[in-house]
Amino acid sequence: MHYSSVLRLSTRAKAALAGATVLALNVAGYAQSCALCYTQAGGAGQRFIQGLRTGILVLIVPPMFMSVGITWLAYSKRNKTNDRDSGHDSDNEW
């Protein structure tokens, strides 16, 4: 095994360890299971619960449609440049 491949593996391991550390130390992730959050949502009125549902939809739906749109656009345009360049009537003699 070459030294560069060992060094690259070591760099990947370091990046994975750093990512795991960031996820483990993320305080916002622990707030999802916070007892105060559950009691606030459980004791809230219908208006507050409807606001939470609306907020969730606002945060989820637009990125989902954007992802679907970008995927569709990339799929539909995947061969457009190849079709123009690969014509048999081309004068390019490479």
Compute mean pLDDT per 10 residues along the chain, 94 residues long, and list them.
58 84 70 67 81 86 93 86 58 57
CB-side neighbour CA atoms (13 Å) of 16: 6
Q: Is the pTM of this model over 0.85?
A: no
The pLDDT, as a whole number, for residue 15 is 85
Residue spans of alpha helices (H) in the chain = 3-24, 27-30, 35-42, 46-76, 80-85
Print burial letters for 9-37: b (CB count within 10 Å at least 16), e (below 16).
Answer: eeeeeeeeeeeeeeeeeeeeeeeeeeeee
Encoded tokens for 8: 């690259």
The pLDDT, as a whole number, for residue 22 is 78
The pLDDT, as a whole number, for residue 65 is 94
